[in-house]
Structures are given as C-alpha cells and as structure tokens.
Amino acid sequence: MIEGEGSALIRASLKTEDETYNCVGTVLAKRGCWSFLKGGFVLETPSNLSILYFQSSDDVDVGINIASSSLQPFSNEQWRINQQYIKRKRAVTVHVSNENGERLQGATILIEQVAKDFPFGSAIAKTILGNFPYQKWFAKRFNAAVFENELKWYATEPEQGQVNYTIADQMLEFIRANQIIARGHNIFWEDPKYTPPWVRNLTGSDLKSAVDFRIQSLLSKYKDEFIHWDVSNEMLHFDFYEKRLGPDATLSFYESAHKYDPLATLFMNEFNVVETCSDVNSTVDTFISRLIELKKGGVFMDGIGLEGHFTVPNPPLMRGILDKLATLGIPIWLTEVDISKTLDKTSQAIYLEQVLREGFSHPSVNGIMLWTALHPNGCYQMCLTDNNLQNLPAGDVVDKLLKEWQTLELEGVSDNHGSYSFYGFLGEYKVNVKYQNRAVTSTFSLSQGEETKHFSIQL
C-alpha cells in the first residue's frame, strides 16, 4: 500500500555483496489498497547478505507500506521439476473389440502421433520462396508461421495507391500447401520509423482515409487466412496514430479489424513485457491497464502477444509475469522469441532453452513463435541454422525440444479387458491394431481435457 500519490509504479530491486539487480519485479500500487508484486531473480554467485529495495520507478514521492513478503529459493534442478507439462498431455485408453463388441486380449497396438496440437513455429521471409530445401526443413519442424515483414504496410503499399500483395500471396501458398497456421503481423506499427514515408506526411482526413483503406484492403483480402492479427503493434512504446487521429484511433482500428475478419483473434503485441521489468513503458501492470482500457471501450481483443526479444532471460520473473497476465483469462502467445546477437551462439542456445521451457510449461501460453527467419546474411538476432541448413546450437535446442514435446511411437498389447492405456501429448494420432489375421488402422484427436480420452476400435 502506498501513501501520498493516488498511484505509483513500484519497483523491487536487489543488492548482494557482488551484484545489483535493478529490477526483480514491479507493481502499479494504488493508495488505500494492497497490491500484489510477484517477481524473481537468479543469483549468479552465492550470497550471504541480500538487501531487497522497494522504490517508485517514476520519481513520485510516496510512502510504501509492506504487509508481508516471502522468498522461495529453487535450485536449477528444482525449477525444472516444477516445469510440468500437465496441460499439454492427457491420458488415453484404447479399447479393442471384435464385430460383436467382445473385448480382445492380446491385440498388438501401434500408436504414432502424426500432428501436434501446440502451435510452435517461426517467422519466415520471402527468402523461403523457391528455396525448396529451406521449405522442407521448415515444414518438417513447425506447424505455425508468421511473415517477418511481408504483410507490414511499408511492404504492401510502399507508395500510396500502389498496393502489392504478390510476395505475401506466394508465402501464403507455401503455408497452405503444408497445412501450417499463420499469424497476421501486423496491420499498423505505432513506431513512426516503420510507418511508410508517405503515411508520415498525411494528416487529418487524409490519414484517416489511408488507415481505413489499409484495414479494408488487407483484411478483406486475407479474411479467414490468418488466425491472429497484431492490430496496433507496440502501442505502449509508440503512439504515431493516436497523436494524429486522436485517443480513440486504436479503438477504431480494433473495431474495423473485427468487422472485416471477425473470426481472427486480435492481439495486443508488445516488447519488454516478459523480457524485463526495467522498461517503465511496458511493465506487466502497464500492459494490463492498457488492455483493460481498450476492452472497456468495446474492443474485440482476445490475445496477449509477448514478443520475447531476450538478452539474458530471468525465468522466475518471466513466470511471475505470465502468472499475472494469466489472471485476465486471455490466451497468451510468445510471438517473436529470440536471444540477442550480442551473446555467443552457445549462450544463445542455453538461454533459448530456458525461455522455451518456461513458455511451454505455463498453462496459459497457447503458442510460441521464434523470430528466426533465415536470410543470406543471417537472421535478425538469432539463427537456428547456417545457410546450408546445418544446425547451429539454437537449432539443436529446438530439435531436442520438438522431440521431447512429442509422444514417441508406442507399441503394446491389449490387456485382459481389451484395453491399452498411455499418456500422450495433445494432437492427432494414428492407431494400428493387429489381432490374429486381422488388422485395422484408425485415427483420433487428443484435445485438452481433464478426463481420460477413450477410443474404441473394432476389428
């Protein structure tokens, strides 16, 4: 609880004998009521003395009262054990019977997971077009994609009135051919640096007409093609359109997007929400406040997009932020995950694994996208392979986790009840059953559920 100002952003920091952690958690505290701050940190070296500080992040003079505090230590091994994949798996019982409904004991059952339920993918660029080895490599691993730049306004309409979706259409053909889902990124980018130059010169009704045409053109053409749209990208850091069109501009963007593509999930996509708590523009409470404000205005927004451009990740802080966002009951996606190129490739791989495990293990994270589109001169920050599609350390991590997060081929025999049970990752399965001189193949979908999935197959 604070005294003085009506509200203030309170930051927790930590100092040990050897290190200072400038931010290990934040909360937007309000006068007269208690607020919950949840954060975390990783000690690089053992410490005999640690001091935890609480202070205002915006230089507001407030009194801070603390009712209770607790600190739960974890070793790396204990932390990994707590990363359970319970929501990603479900118990299954396969029942085998003959045409009379009599259960068959001793039938050989072979089970194979042929598709995964959890969306895990990467950005792609136009460099994938015509590059068949790269296409094969991508489709073998990922079930989701996002276009790195090819849907952005500066790419589709570099000059006013010269709209060209040719590249995006060709990339979409690759997506469709391989049954890959795709996110729409993005309709508008609030950073003026990435706004088409001709748009930056527009004002008033001319700008309003241009943005209206942008939404209508893009979403009418691609209606039902993209599962998500990042509507107003990075609005916590930049406000190009609201400065020029007024405070309700963002509301109108979401309303129009829903009108033209009503089944797409509309996202609020932002950086430095889950990566750190040091950025006062995008703390978890700042994100939540803006999202609630838009929802109260009638916005059809049902997705939280956390970009995930990490340098050195802080998994305990990441978990605390995800937990707080999860209280909104809105699907969360990690939308642009990579590790800074300022680190060596081995460190990138180590930190990438930490982020991916933390994201996959959190029950409110519904998908993960990497920001690793391959270019002749490399990638934005982190590549999974070299230009010959040979794995770099980060690629090895991805391949390892893809294998770990899939049910391995199972073979068993039906018991005296004619049943065979297993615990598998959600997705699509193929079942081969053999009994004496008879054999049958069938498929079933394993979706999320608390109860055991029962699947019957008849020979």
Residues 6+ apart with CB under 8 A from 295: 301
Q: Count other Cβ atoms within 10 Å, centred on residue 329.
A: 8
To the query of whether residue 255 is one of the catalytic residues in this protein, the response is no
Give the DSSP H/E element, type plus range, for residue 21. Answer: strand 20-30
- Residue 118 three-state SS: coil
Rounded to the nearest 10 degrees, how much is the dihedral formed by the CA atoms of 348, 14, 365, 404? 40
Could you tell me the sign of the dihedral formed by the alpha carbons of 385, 389, 391, 392, in that order?
Answer: negative
Say how far apart CA 303 and CA 49 lie, in whole Å.
41
Amino acid identity at 149: N
Where are any strands of DSSP class E within 83-169? 89-97, 108-116, 120-124, 144-147
- Residue 363 three-state SS: coil
SS3 content of the chain, % helix, strand, coil (to 5): 30, 30, 40
Report whether 418 contacts 440 (CB < 8 A). no
Catalytic, out of 190, 270, 307, 336: 336
Residues 6+ apart with CB under 8 A from 305: 228, 230, 267, 268, 269, 270, 333, 335
Pinpoint the alpha helices (H) of 142-179. Answer: 153-156, 166-177
To the query of whether residue 270 is one of the catalytic residues in this protein, the response is no
End-to-end CA distance of the chain: 67
Catalytic, out of 148, 234, 307, 358: 234
By annotation, the residues acting in catalysis are 234, 336
